[in-house]
Amino acid sequence: MDEKANKGKEVKEEVAQETPKNPERRSLLKAGVVLGAAGIGGALGLKATDIEAAGKTGNLSAHVGPGDLDDYYGFWSGGHSGEIRIMGIPSGRELKRIPVFNYDAAYGWGTTNFSKSLLGDKRSGDTHHVHLSYNDGIYDGKYAFVNDKAQARLARIRLDTFVTDTITEIPNAQGTHGIFPSRNKLDAVYCNSEFRIPLPNDGKDMLDPKKYGALHTCIDAKSMKPRWQVLVDGNMDLCATDYHGKYSMAISYNSEGGVTLNEMIASDRDWLIVFNLAKIEADIKRGKGTTYGSSKVKVLDGRKGSPYTIYIPVPKSPHGVNVDPTGRYAVCAGKLSPTVSVVDLEKVDQAFAGKIKPRDCVVAEPEVGIGPLHTAFDNRGNAYTSIFIDSVITKWNIAKAIKGENPIVHKIDIHYQVGHINASMSETKEADGKWVISLNKFSKDRFLPVGPFRNENEQLIDISGEEMRVVHDVATHPEPHDAVIARRDLFRPEKVWNNNDSRFDLERNLAKKYGVKDLMTAAKVVRDGKHVYVFMTGIAPNFSLNEFTVKKGDTVTLVVTNGDKVEDLSHGICVSHHDVNFGVSPQETASATFKVPNKGVFWFYCPWFCHALHLEMRGRMIVT
């Protein structure tokens, strides 16, 4: 019996052995994947044994030894946790959780005055897509941007400090989902509102879906203020930009404009909407557009037939749109079709000029599996598409697909139900073809059970060879939705804060107002009516104030500076029974404002272990 036949027999036997009387998800999915691969492969002239056959694979290792550094930074969205997670790749080490739209006691996000100024009265968020700022198609190491689908917001994270610095409310929008920054330079971030709503949403026309609309919004990447919005047909999902600053793009489903499931899946096709940025910017400068409600942001009508947009028909219910490293092709994945659509962006100008039909921009539509969602790329002309229903990742060749040849290179089994994937440097001109991360929605029987709310599963895949190879999987806190993998040499994080940073303007202004000369050496209590301002410094193992006295009913603003300059020597302050707890890293200043409702002695202490005498780093707030 030859090697391929042996391999096929082993796969079938393994599936049979893992199928108990009460089948678990793993067994059913594995069997389904093999059978599904056989079915789809048959249509493409492949057999399941060809897909599973051993071949030339890469030899990359996920092991990073003690004291060694990872080669890549991973930027993970936190889903409904509202945060961003920083991962080391290939090790999979979680390096930091950056609070964005969520409350976080460790850093005091939601407690400090700065974070409260960004969050307002909102206590939750839903981060789906994180993307990095660019210069000439390569990450510039300055910012990360992430959406909040729950509250229609966009946040910016500084990558010198890995801290959120701005949160912007997007007007006239609900369900802000896909976002993407300009790739040619630090210029704009484009945001898709997924949900169609009445415009303005003021209680009128609520029962007439014909009056609903969704908006494509341009946010200035430097000021983080909205520039303009474009009204479109359908519901927008994922977003992309080209490499030249000419186009932004939005996958659009529900071309029917329906509000129920049956209404939203009546048509055969939906669209990739491409936006003509030069035309939009020119007409906005001329003062064109309208406004809705209290928003002053101008809105242009980009519905079908508009000079600002073209609507390229693609298979029903598309989800992802991804641009390959050459910048020429955008790949759209239709969830209700086994195909992906390859759009030639060089033809888009002709479509805008009316020389060809929008559908003529589609140059290939290969079958890749049942339930395609997202596509990543290597540096060898290959694409990697996540297949949700089949629970596989399909590697296929773009050039072969365009020529009409069989493009399938390899398929690999994923556990289970893969959503987003991304490859190392995939969304830049310098895709390097080393790693793919698969963010999987279910993890039943992969890890120790932890109750009805289970962890999810991420799998790291070596793509350096002809065939893919899973080298590592890890349980993860729900729900990582998307990820970016970027080379570490592109980033220059600070080791300690610059104490002149504009981040501390609020505290610096308070110090100036109340006669505190230097926040680095502050030790002063100032009463201003019923408001008490307490300025202190932490240098291990002491606070500059061992006690301060206030009165029952006072409002207290506590301003704390970490005076230590030693890397990773963090302090913080927690005030017992007053719901105040925040951290200050080296040379950082932060403040929190709170009420004191009761008389008594209340200890404050440093919650970050900082010294052999850490437990002694404390003092008293005496309330008379």
Interval 57-91: pLDDT, tens? 899 999 999 999 999 999 999 999 999 999 999 99
Place of tokens 């599963």: 457
- Is 70 exceeded by the pLDDT of residue 374? yes
- Pairing label, strands 299-301, 226-232: parallel
pTM of the model: 0.90
Question: Kind of pairing, strands 226-232 and 212-220?
Answer: antiparallel
Contact assessment for residue 579 and residue 608, using Cβ atoms and an 8 Å cutoff: no
Alpha carbon 607 to its chain's center? 30
**Which among 347, 367, 372 is positioned nearest to 359, based on CA atoms?**
347
Mean of pLDDT values over 535-555: 97
Looking at the 3D structure of the chain, how many domains does it have? 2
Query: What percent of the chain lies above the pLDDT cut of 70?
Result: 91
- Tell me, yes or no, whether 431 lies in a domain: no
pLDDT at 28: 41
| Residue 51 pLDDT exceeds 70 | no
pLDDT for 48 equals 34
Q: Which two tokens stand for residue 123?
A: 């206590």
Does residue 333 form part of some domain? no
pLDDT on residue 34: 37
**Strands 531-539, 555-562: parallel, antiparallel or unpaired by DSSP?**
parallel
Of the ranges 5-9, 93-97, 539-543, which one carries the lowest mean pLDDT score? Answer: 5-9
- 262-271, 404-413, 561-570: which has the minimum mean pLDDT? 262-271
Contacts 24+ apart (CB under 8 A), 167-170: 167/100, 167/101, 167/118, 167/119, 168/219, 168/224, 168/225, 168/226, 170/217, 170/219, 170/226
Residues of 334-366 as b/e, b for ≥16 C-beta within 10 angstroms? bbbbbbbbbbbbebbeebbeeeeebeebbbbbb
**Single residue among 14, 36, 52 that ends a domain in this structure:** 52
Q: Is residue 13 part of a domain?
A: yes
d(CA 539, CA 524): 16
**Quick check: 462 and 472 in contact, CB under 8 A?**
no
In a 13 Å sphere around the CA of 552, the CA atoms on its Cβ side amount to 6
- Whether the per-residue pLDDT at 499 is higher than 60: the answer is yes
Cα-based angle 502, 503, 507 (whole degrees, multiple of 5)? 95
Q: What is the mean pLDDT of the chain?
A: 91
More confident: 32 or 379: 379
Would 529 be classed as within a structural domain? yes
Q: Which amino acid is at 14?
A: E
CA atoms within a 13 Å half-sphere pointing along the CA-CB vector of 307: 7
In a domain, 329, yes or no: no
pLDDT of residue 49: 34
Does 611 map to a domain?
A: yes
How crowded is residue 96: how many other Cβ atoms within 10 Å of its Cβ?
12
Q: Cα angle vertex 277, ends 271, 278, to 5°?
A: 140
Residue-level pLDDT at 563? 96
Average pLDDT (2-25) is 38
User: How many CB atoms neighbour CB 20 within 10 A?
Assistant: 8
Q: What is the DSSP letter of 170?
A: P
Q: What is the pLDDT of residue 46?
A: 33
235 within domain boundaries: no
Contact at 8 Å (CB) between 526 and 515?
Answer: yes
**Which tokens hold the place of 476?**
């993860």
pLDDT higher than 80, residue 356: yes
More confident position, 20 or 340: 340
Residue 139, pLDDT > 50, answer yes
CB 535 within 8 A of CB 522: yes
* Rounded alpha-carbon distances, angstroms, from residue 86 to 41, 141, 488, 572, 583: 37, 14, 12, 22, 19
Q: Closest by alpha carbon to 553, among 585, 527, 519? A: 527
pLDDT band (50, 70, 90) for residue 4: very low
Classify residue 189 as left (phi > 0), alpha (psi -120 to 50) or beta. beta
Buried b (16+ CB within 10 A) or exposed e, 428-437: beebbbbbbb
Q: Is residue 593 part of a domain?
A: yes
Name 192's bridge partners: 216
Read out DSSP for 253-279?
Answer: E-TT--SSHHHHT-SSEEEEEEEEHHH
Looking at residues 361-384, what average pLDDT do you find?
Answer: 97
- Domain hosting 547: range is 502-623
Q: Which of 29, 52, 75 lies at the terminal end of a domain, its last residue?
A: 52
pLDDT higher than 60, residue 123: yes
Contact of 446 with 473, CB cutoff 8 Å = yes
pLDDT level of residue 393 (50, 70, 90 thresholds): very high
Cα–Cα distance between 109 and 573 in angstroms, integer?
13
* C-alpha–C-alpha distance, residues 484 and 420, integer Å: 10
Helix (H) or strand (E) holding 63: none
According to the model, what pLDDT value does residue 443 have?
85
Q: What is the pLDDT of residues 437-459, one digit of tens each?
A: 999 988 888 899 889 988 889 99
pLDDT for residue 264: 79
CATH code for position 543: 2.60.40.420
Q: Which residue has the tokens 């080791």?
A: 495
Range of lowest pLDDT (59-63, 254-258, 400-404, 546-550) = 254-258
Rounded CA separation 321/360 (Å): 17
pLDDT at 3 over 60: no
pLDDT of residue 261: 82
